[in-house]
Structure 1
Amino acid sequence: MAKIERIEIRMVDLKPKVVRTDAIQSFVSQETPLVTITDSDGATGTGYSYTIGTGGSSVMRLLADHLLPRLIGKDAEQIEAIWHELEFATHATTIGAITSIALAAIDNALWDLRARKQDIPLWKLAGGARDRCALYTTEGGWLHIPTEALVEDALDAKAKGFKGSKVKIGKPHGADDVARLSAVRKAVGDGYEIMTDANQGFTIDEAIRRADRLRDLDLAWLEEPIAADDIDGHVRLNRSTSTPVAVGESLYSIRHFREYMQKGACSIVQVDAGRIGGITPWLKVAHTAEAFDMPICPHFLMELHVSLTCAVPNGKYVEYIPQLDDITTSRLVIENGMALAPSTPGLGIEWDWDAIAKRSIPEFNRDIH
């Protein structure tokens, strides 16, 4: 039994490569906690999670002061036991984003360690359903982007083999959203998917109204139309429209997902391994969604989610938003609009430790023995 002997934590602040705006906010930074676990055999595994600009310092203090000291001496293979112990240790602050983001960095590191020790890629270790999955792109669909540029980006993505493009919605008047999306649909034709994302920007009545106006555009889904914790509102919306309703990036517990699925409040599950608490609960949500005949189209983190989406039979799409290029040497491999599952052991992410050292925020660097 190899016990955990050492844990290193770092945090880097990654600036988005393009301007990112949606109905409620702009993305100006991505705080990225990194956790590297070393066991008594000398094997290592690295996990990560993220914020969109706030809360990173709180995540790092939670890791350093309360969670990571509990891991020293633990059997690194007992991932399930560790996850539940850490969740219980923080029960007074769960279920919430800060705790789940911290748990995710640890859990992802443990899965990376396990896969590396077994010399197997994560997608095979976690299920091995397929070796590639479809991609859609978000980077050219932000809310501030002019209609002409939306069209150009969608046509370019289609030419490259991508299966769809996401366009942010939430303009002051519904007619503006209709005009933008109609222009994209006219340009790409009927055989190309258009996803939309309102980022919780609507009231329930406005969401129903806009969904009705967009009905004839045959959209792939309407994502986060209203407040993520309004389950009853999602039930109303899902019953009122033929457009699939997608949720998940702002849900932090498997029990939250269970309620959405049981009540018929969504049609597409976008569980995020960086926000649900790591790979362990991510897989549980994915398998539950399979029982409800719902596809998994995870939010963000394409470098990690390509492996998880390929691991499960109901994995459908990976969202193309390059995130880690500045601190990794590996890249997502794309063939004809399909993301290929990594062939290397572990998460399939090769970290550039020199770049990480230069970008790390010194006050959060810790080495725990």
Structure 2
Amino acid sequence: MAKIRHVEIFMANLTPKVKRTDAIQCFESQETPFVRIVDSDGAMGLGYTYTIGQGGPAIVSLLRETLVPKLVGREAEEIERIWRDLLFSTHATSVGAITSLALAAIDTALWDLRCKRAGLPLWRMLGGAKSSVPMYTTEGGWLHIPTKDLVADALEAQANGFSGSKIKIGRPHLSEDRERLAAVREQVGPNYEIMVDANQCFSRAEATRRARVLEEFGIAWFEEPLPADDVLEHQLLAASTSVPIAVGESIYSLSQFKDYLTTGGASIVQVDVARIGGITPWMKVAHLAEAHNVPVCPHFLMELHVSLVCAIPNAPWLEYIPQLDSLTASPMKMEWGRAYPSDAPGLGIDWDEEKLEAAKINGLKAGFGG
């Protein structure tokens, strides 16, 4: 056992390589807070979290003023105890996005540290269910992209071995979404998966109407059709359509996932390791989904999620949206539409320390301990 000796907080701001739009927002930046933990033996773990566009400084503030000062002197291996103590120390702001995102930065750093001390990659430490996972791509399916370019991207992904493509929906009229989906389906054929994502933009009446169109094209799932906190409406929608309903990227606690699973409101669980509060609660959600015979297809963060989906048996796909190339020495390994977790001890992300140092934002960093 080794105690936490030093903790560093800093934030970087990443710019996406392509324009990313959906029915509710334009994804222009990714604010990325980091936590680095060093133990009394000198071992180091690096974790991170993120926000789309804004909110990163609020996470850094919660880490700096409330959470991280409680870490120095704690036993680094007591990850579950630390996670719960920090959660209850912020009970006035839990459950919520800022608290969960802050907890995730700490929790992923602790798991990185544990794996490095054990000499194991994360995917093996957590179970080692499989050594690779198929991918689907979202990067060519954004809402602003013309139909011909949607088709071209899907055909290119199919030719490169990807299992499917996700297309954003939520155009002003149903006919526009239908035209885009019909064009892609005609070109890729019946055996290539098409997923759709509405980013919570519909009422249940409109989602039900659009689901009838989705059924025509054999859509793999209908993602975030409704506001994510409305379990009952998702349950009613799921009962009215044959298209699987996918939720999870905007859910921040194990209990919320429990409600979705026990009511039948979710056919696909898209738990996000940052938004749920880290690896510790992510694994609980994954096992809960397995108990309900529901697959896990996590949202975003592919460089970290690749290790998590390979740790469990009920994760059939990984979402392809590259994030961290500007901060790493090498990208996530991919071959013929499959992703492979790293065998290096830790989270499996090949951070470039010089790039990390250069990306730190002044005024959004702090250090604690010796």
Q: After TM superposition, is the score higher than 0.5?
A: yes
Instruction: Give 1:293 deviation, angstroms.
Output: 0.3
Q: Is the 8 A contact 2:138 2:321 kept in 1?
A: yes
**Aligned-pair identity (%):** 58
The residue number in structure 2 matching 1:21 is 21
Structure 2 CA distance for aligned equivalents of residues 185 and 140 of structure 1: 15
Structure 2 CA distance for aligned equivalents of residues 92 and 208 of structure 1: 37
Q: Partner amino acid for 2:171?
A: K
Q: What SS does the corresponding residue of 2:82 show, helix, strand or coil?
A: helix
Structure 2 CA distance for aligned equivalents of residues 261 and 86 of structure 1: 27
Query: TM-score, length-normalised on structure 1?
Result: 0.99
Structure 1 CA distance for aligned equivalents of residues 44 and 274 of structure 2: 20
C-alpha deviations, 1:144-172, integer Å up to 9, x for none? 00000000000000000000000000000
Instruction: Give 1:329 deviation, angstroms.
Output: 1.0
C-alpha deviations, 1:59-109, integer Å up to 9, x for none? 001001100010100000000000000000001001110000000000000
Instruction: Give 1:318 deviation, angstroms.
Output: 0.7
Equivalence map 1:111-150=2 (5 Å): 111-150=111-150
Structure 2 CA distance for aligned equivalents of residues 291 and 156 of structure 1: 36
Instruction: Give 1:204 deviation, angstroms.
Output: 0.8
The residue number in structure 1 matching 2:187 is 187
Q: Is the 8 A contact 2:166 2:194 kept in 1?
A: yes
Structure 2 CA distance for aligned equivalents of residues 13 and 353 of structure 1: 15
Q: Is the 8 A contact 2:332 2:349 kept in 1?
A: no
Structure 2 CA distance for aligned equivalents of residues 238 and 8 of structure 1: 45
Structure 2 CA distance for aligned equivalents of residues 317 and 8 of structure 1: 34
Instruction: Give 1:226 deviation, angstroms.
Output: 0.6
Q: Is the 8 A contact 2:9 2:34 kept in 1?
A: yes
The residue number in structure 2 matching 1:159 is 159
Q: What SS does the corresponding residue of 1:108 show, helix, strand or coil?
A: helix
The residue number in structure 2 matching 1:367 is 367
Structure 2 CA distance for aligned equivalents of residues 135 and 213 of structure 1: 25
The residue number in structure 2 matching 1:270 is 270
Structure 2 CA distance for aligned equivalents of residues 320 and 82 of structure 1: 32
Equivalence map 1:57-76=2 (5 Å): 57-76=57-76
Query: TM-score, length-normalised on structure 2?
Result: 0.99
Q: Partner amino acid for 2:67?
A: L
Q: Is the 8 A contact 2:102 2:277 kept in 1?
A: yes
The residue number in structure 1 matching 2:322 is 322
Equivalence map 1:1-369=2 (5 Å): 1-369=1-369
Structure 2 CA distance for aligned equivalents of residues 19 and 68 of structure 1: 34
Which has the higher mean CA deviation after the structures are superposed, 185-194 or 346-355?
346-355
Q: Partner amino acid for 1:242?
A: S
Structure 2 CA distance for aligned equivalents of residues 78 and 279 of structure 1: 14
Instruction: Give 1:330 deviation, angstroms.
Output: 2.6
User: Which consecutive residues of structure 1, in runs of 5 or more, have no partner in the other structure?
Assistant: none
Instruction: Give 1:289 deviation, angstroms.
Output: 0.2
C-alpha deviations, 1:228-279, integer Å up to 9, x for none? 0011110111000000000000000000000000011010000000100000
C-alpha deviations, 1:177-215, integer Å up to 9, x for none? 011001000000011000100000101100000001221
Q: Is the 8 A contact 2:136 2:320 kept in 1?
A: yes
Structure 1 CA distance for aligned equivalents of residues 330 and 293 of structure 2: 33
Structure 1 CA distance for aligned equivalents of residues 49 and 177 of structure 2: 32
Which has the higher mean CA deviation after the structures are superposed, 304-313 or 334-343?
334-343
State the 4+ residue runs in structure 1 displaced beyond 3 angstroms: none
**Cα RMSD, aligned residues only:** 0.6
Q: Partner amino acid for 1:157?
A: A
